[in-house]
Chain A
Amino acid sequence: MQRTDEERQGAVDLLLAVLVMVIYFVYMLTIAFAPEVFARPIGASKVSIGLASGIAMAVFMVAFCAWYTQRRNQREEEASHDARHR
């Protein structure tokens, strides 16, 4: 039972890492194939699509880390709490 839990968690972790990689490589490949899209400014400002989407990506990654950490740490706390009261 313990073993399958661990394996399932490993699979989830790999999937999340692959998601991160996909997002990042979409960004990098846009630079490679369509740099002119990233150079385009948004509206009347000078902020380009490449800069805005890059900052959005960075913010998302930090939030993703926070979500993951909170969720896993909470689960663990609940599990150890259950174990103590069993």
Chain B
Amino acid sequence: MNVTTLAVFLVFLLITFVITGWAARRTGTRNEFYAAGESITGVQNGFAFAGDYMSAATLLGIAGLYFTSGLDGFVYNVGGVVGWPILLFLLAERLRRLGRYTLTDVLSQRLDEKPIRIFAAGANLVVLTFYMVSQMVGAGVLMNLLLGLSFTWSALLVGTLMTVYVVFGGMIATTWVQIIKAALLIAAALTLAAFALGTFDFSVGALLDAAVAKHPTGDAVMGPSTLISGPGAAISLGLTLLFGPAGLPHILMRFFTVPNVKEARKSANVAAALVGGFCVLMVVIGYGTVAVLYDNPAYMELDGTLKGGSNMASLHLAHALGGDVFLGFVAAIAFATILAVVSGLTLAAAATASHDLYATVIRGGKQTEREEMKVSRWSAFTFAAIGIGLSIVFQHENINVLAATAFSIAASATFPVLILALFWKPLTTAGAIAGGVAGLVAAAGAIVLGPSVWVAVFGNAQPVFPYQYPTILSMPLAFIVAFAVSLLAPSPVSEAAAAK
């Protein structure tokens, strides 16, 4: 048990509880619960966006990728930066102008409300559940390594904390937890990068020289490895990294927390700068893990792999540079990161279930605000319980596969429908749903038939679908089906909706 981890983590918990208490007194109305009363400024929201983008996968997983495969770590990381101009140019202004609480509000402006809400809510809940389980499994592994907590206890702890934030503090608490975590994460990355550089007399050149000298592949550590082989795999990965986040409901929901279009743009701009800066810091940290750890027997197994797996690279680096205290600090922040992200997911799921399904589809808008908020709090509780249960069942699954499934479905089912609804007038409700369902089914099917399930789980020799990410197939399919159905069977409903 690391005392610093516990201390830093307890301080973080204390701060977040104070914030939740403060937020709870400001969360009386539906608008405050779902959208923080539109009271978040552009800069604050930019930090919260960046917090949602920089999950624990970034600090732990990307550093691990640098450690094993060099430049591949950068390639995975930089896709997230390039996603921001896309979000800013295509979605920021339009979502803020058309939506109130959920991205489904935006779709139902143009399409037949009931069916599109049922489809979009279903797709969102699938995406949120997969992403949630991936984060919970990550938290469990981390807690087990750092505090020796069993997986079940860790899942229960994370689940309980996020339920408290969301049920009592709503979007205001969720946003501030995310802002604080983003600031802490950036502080940790800055310190880690400075320590790593300090070991090499603050010379990036010397750090990279050491990385090349120590990595088993030598000079090749500065180039792309075989992880991304061939144009199909490269395009599929690129599409997933670029458009996956643009279809994630808990991220898009943040555009509704700022008061106007100008602040919405500003928040995306701030987020881009933070995510971009973090990507550059990760170059130093990532190659730092290579330069510091490879020849240190304290962190390496005899067969040349990293102790505890490559996901431990940034934590080992912290320990090598700053001892137990710094390790404890970084580990606590990694855990806080997971906690903040799952809170955002829970809130998005609660909004989807209560606002899209209960209020609009089931009650047809006849519910009172009180009833809707009550359903929303119970939904958060239910989603958390499902998340805890599923993460215990799937605790031995690969985190990357679970997260990849969420991103691929978001890019293939949610994103195409959203873009067409905003930019293509002839889109009909039938076309949107057919396209979205085609994208969802194709994405899920191709993942099952692909290398990460068909080969790794079922033990077949060859995958039926060759790439880890299905997006190269499923995203264009969603667009084509939506185009075809809209043009072949123009529906009177959408014309009526368009006229309105």
Q: Which residues of A contact B (CB under 8 A)?
A: 10, 13-14, 16-17, 20-21, 23-25, 27-29, 31-33, 35-36, 38-41, 45-48, 50-51, 54-55, 57-59, 61-62, 64-66, 68-69, 72-73, 76-77
A51 adjacent to B89 (CB under 8 Å): no
Residues from chain B with a CB closer than 8 A to the CB of A35 are 223-224
- Please report which residues of chain B, range 29-82, place their CB below 8 angstroms from some CB of chain A when the two chains form the complex: 71, 74-75, 78-79, 81-82
The segment from B20-28, B184-192, B271-279 found at the interface with A is: B271-279
B90 adjacent to A31 (CB under 8 Å): no
Report the minimum CB–CB distance from A56 to chain B (whole Å): 11
| Chain B residue at smallest Cβ distance from A47 | B208
What is the bound-complex CA distance between A66 and B274, given in angstroms?
12
Which residue of A16, A32, A64 is within 8 Å of B234 (Cβ)?
A32
Name the 9 nearest CB pairs between A and B, nearest first: A39-B223, A32-B234, A48-B222, A69-B269, A46-B208, A62-B276, A65-B272, A28-B238, A32-B231
A64 adjacent to B85 (CB under 8 Å): yes
Of A21, A29, A62, which is in contact with the most chain B CB atoms at under 10 Å from its CB?
A62
Report the minimum CB–CB distance from A30 to chain B (whole Å): 9
Report the minimum CB–CB distance from A42 to chain B (whole Å): 10
Report the minimum CB–CB distance from B44 to chain A (whole Å): 16
Report the minimum CB–CB distance from A9 to chain B (whole Å): 9
What is the bound-complex CA distance between A65 and B49, given in angstroms?
15
Q: Contact mask B180-200 → A, CB, 8 Å, 1/0?
A: 000000000000000000000
Residues from chain B with a CB closer than 8 A to the CB of A36 are 223
B75 adjacent to A68 (CB under 8 Å): no
Residues from chain B with a CB closer than 8 A to the CB of A73 are 262, 265-266
What is the bound-complex CA distance between A21 and B279, given in angstroms?
19
| Chain A residue at smallest Cβ distance from B90 | A17
B231 adjacent to A13 (CB under 8 Å): no
What is the bound-complex CA distance between A43 and B237, given in angstroms?
30
Of A14, A40, A48, A72, which is in contact with the most chain B CB atoms at under 10 Å from its CB?
A48
| Chain A residue at smallest Cβ distance from B81 | A58
What is the bound-complex CA distance between A16 and B89, given in angstroms?
7
| Chain A residue at smallest Cβ distance from B263 | A73
B234 adjacent to A28 (CB under 8 Å): yes
Residues from chain A with a CB closer than 8 A to the CB of B273 are 62, 65-66
| Chain A residue at smallest Cβ distance from B269 | A69
Of B209, B224, B235, which is in contact with the most chain A CB atoms at under 10 Å from its CB?
B224
Residues from chain B with a CB closer than 8 A to the CB of A20 are 82, 85-86, 89
Residues from chain A with a CB closer than 8 A to the CB of B280 are 55, 58
Residues from chain B with a CB closer than 8 A to the CB of A23 are 82
What is the bound-complex CA distance between A72 and B276, given in angstroms?
21
A68 adjacent to B82 (CB under 8 Å): no
- Please report which residues of chain B, range 80-125, place their CB below 8 angstroms from some CB of chain A when the two chains form the complex: 81-82, 84-86, 88-90, 93
- Please report which residues of chain B, range 197-241, place their CB below 8 angstroms from some CB of chain A when the two chains form the complex: 205, 208-209, 211-212, 219-220, 222-224, 228-231, 233-235, 237-238
Contacts A51-B74, A58-B280, A65-B268 given; does A32 touch B90 at CB 8 Å: no
